[in-house]
Amino acid sequence: MQKPKNIIQKVWEQHVVYQEEEKPDLLYIDLHLVHEVTSPQAFEGLRMNGRKVRRPDLTYATMDHNVSTRDRNVINDPVSKKQIDTLKENCQEFGVELSDRQHPDNGIVHVIGPELGLTQPGKTIVCGDSHTSTHGAFGALAFGIGTSEVEHVLATQTIWQAPPKTMNVKVNGKLGTGVTAKDLILAIIGKFGVQFGTGYVMEYTGEAIRSLSMEERMTVCNMSIEAGARAGLISPDETTFEYMKGRRHVPKGEAFEEAVAKWRSLATDEGADYDAVVEIEASEVEPQVTWGTNPGMCIPITASVPNPDNEEKSNKKDEISRALQYMGLEAGQPISSVEIDHVFIGSCTNSRLSDLRKAADVVRGHKVNPKVKAIVVPGSFSVKLAAEKEGIDQIFKEAGFEWREAGCSMCLAMNDDIVPPGGRCASTSNRNFEGRQGNGSRTHLVSPEMAAAAAVSGRFVDVRQFTAQEVL
Ligand SMILES: CC(C)[C@H](C(=O)O)[C@@H](O)C(=O)O
Ligand code: SF4
């Protein structure tokens, strides 16, 4: 009998086109996603060498980072405009399909890949973007690459990669009411640190993962990179196939059934080994809020921000002091006492229809606190349309949120949505680094539900009690 294998090993083996001892493997790439920020020099490299895009049919481009979410037709910043225009010219010249900013398929690259059915189990997927791991939710091996690698993939449809170590991130039991996929991944990174995944591709397994929807799985896989991992994925199952059925690029009819049989066989075999295993109990996870300047600096909403004096190691002390200083927080302060002035519901982590629905459920019938500027930015044009069809936009607008066009928006300060210096934002995105949402801005990462509750309250509140109060 064959030795049991995990999905990472299976997908890797199926894609190696050249291998030499002690050297990286040459891996075939099934889907190359492209956006305006990391592709200009790559196309320029092709042009200089007189090369073509090897497989335009396996390459798909969108613009997301620089687009304005106020008015899709206007871009004031000249650098942003240049990147957008350059992508359009490059796609035309090299024959790459592009959903430009007025196109109905447009949106954040990691939102539209799954939506269009481009993202499929067992595919190798790359993009010049660190959150490419999102696509791992489907059992794809999906990872971010640098601009020179983007050029290599454009030219050859392959990439040199050292075989990864594999890790099983096992989530036992069930998540409690009001506790989300975002809280789970923050708690995982909070528990094991922002580097525990370094050198690994992670597979998330266990009962809690199996019961997540596809959109929730994407939230989890999205943040694998924040744990240092090369990629994160989840073995495909009925939830995956159900989500995929009928999407534009997914095989239809009998071909779909055949594809499902193949996809099913990719799932990790019973008894397969990994190079490492970590475990966490889902029932112990509470709604999380980050207090510091990396995603691992997070605590439950019921807790207080750490005090550096309680640390023994001096580097840890310094790290906490510096983060508290940047964040303008007091050691030992309860996180629920922290007041905010901005709320951002969006980004490739939490801007899908189910995220907006859940946030709208919290907001319904309430008003945004008068000192808070709150925006909702759907991840794609089609998420926006679907939400509007359900009246979700109305719930947000009546509460005092701005309802925006799709794009990366306030996730990073690359467009006109910026948190001002000293501003404090409850954000559903994935990075809380210094200056991430604008120079001197302070970011607290939370789930969409927690962001919605913070918008109404003007400070962080436990969404579990917030909803309980509403029921009473
Ligand atoms: C601009 C882009 C290259 C970057 C990334 O790689 O992730 C961005 O998407 C981010 O989230 O920081
Ligand atoms: S939404 Fe944020 S994290 Fe996602 S691709 Fe855009 S900038 Fe990067």
- Of 194, 196, 45, 216, the C-alpha closest to 128 is 45
Say how many Å lie between the CA of residue 408 and the centre of ligand 1: 10
Question: Which of 138-176 are b and which e, b meaning 16 or more Cβ less than 10 Å from the residue's Cβ?
Answer: bbbbbbbbebebbbbbbbbbbbebeebbbbbbbbeeebe
End-to-end CA distance of the chain: 59
- Give tens-digit pLDDT for 358-372: 999 999 999 999 999
Q: What is the mean pLDDT of residues 137-165?
A: 98
Distance, CA 411 to ligand 1 centroid (Å)? Answer: 10
Task: Indicate whether residue 69 lines ligand 2 (CB < 6 A).
Answer: no
pLDDT at 462 over 60: yes
pTM value is 0.98
Beta carbon of 108 within 6 Å of any ligand 2 atom: yes
Q: What is the token pair recorded at 394?
A: 């109305």
What angle separates helix 353-363 from helix 381-390, to the nearest 10 degrees?
A: 40
Indicate whether residue 412 lines ligand 2 (CB < 6 A).
yes
Q: Sorting pLDDT into bands at 50, 70 and 90, what band is 471? A: very low
Residues of the chain with CATH 3.30.499.10: 7-277, 288-471
Task: Please state, in angstroms and rounded to a whole number, the distance separating the CA atoms of residues 446 and 298.
Answer: 9
The predicted pLDDT at position 467 comes to: 67
Mean pLDDT of 76-88: 96
pLDDT of 466 reads 86
What is the Å distance from ligand 2's center to 245 Cα?
27
pLDDT digits (tens, 9 = 90+) for 297-316: 999 999 999 999 999 999 99
Average pLDDT score over the chain = 97
Pocket probe for ligand 2: among 344, 412, 445, the residue whose CB has the most ligand atoms within 8 Å is 412
Q: Which residue's C-alpha comes closest to atom 8 of ligand 1?
A: 129
Nearest CA to ligand 1 atom 6: 129
- Asked if residue 348 has its Cβ within 6 Å of ligand 2, the reply is yes
Pairing label, strands 165-172, 276-281: parallel
Closest CA to 48 of 160, 157, 148: 148
Question: What is the mean pLDDT of the segment spanning 213-236?
Answer: 98
User: What is the CB neighbour count within 10 angstroms for residue 48?
Assistant: 9
Q: Is the ipTM of this complex over 0.90?
A: yes
Asked whether the predicted pLDDT for residue 404 surpasses 70, the reply is yes
DSSP 317-358: HHHHHHHHHHHT--TT-BGGG-B-SEEEE-TTTS-SHHHHHH
Question: Which ranges of 49-146 does DSSP label H, i.e. alpha helix?
Answer: 78-94, 109-115
- Token digits of residue 44: 């320029």
Model pLDDT for residues 103-138, shown as the tens digit of each residue: 999 999 999 999 999 999 999 999 999 999 999 999
Over range 420-428, report the average pLDDT.
Answer: 98
pLDDT band at 468 (very low <50, low <70, confident <90, very high): low
CA of 38 to the centre of ligand 1 (A): 9
Instruction: Evaluate: CB of 408 within 6 angstroms of ligand 2.
Output: yes
Q: Of the candidates 263, 266, 237, which has an alpha carbon nearest to the alpha carbon of residue 120?
A: 263
pLDDT at 428 over 90: yes
- Using an 8 Å Cβ cutoff, are 322 and 358 in contact? no
Bigger pLDDT: 468 vs 237: 237
Kindly provide the b/e burial profile for residues 285-322, where b requires at least 16 CB atoms within 10 angstroms of the residue's own CB: bbbbbbbbbbbbbbbbbeebbbebeeeeeeeebebbbe
State yes or no: pLDDT of 408 exceeds 60. Answer: yes
pLDDT digits (tens, 9 = 90+) for 374-396: 999 999 999 999 999 999 999 99
Type of residue found at 419: V
CATH no. for 7-277: 3.30.499.10
64 within ligand 1 shell (Cβ under 6 A) = no
CATH C-level class of 288-471: alpha beta
**303 CA distance to ligand 1 middle (Å):** 31
Ligand at shortest distance from the CA of 428: 2
Question: pLDDT > 70: what percent of the chain?
Answer: 99
**Half-sphere exposure (Cβ direction) of 413: Cα atoms closer than 13 Å:** 17
- Per-residue pLDDT tens digits for 183-197: 999 999 999 999 999
Rounded-to-10 torsion of CA 213, 354, 31, 220: -60
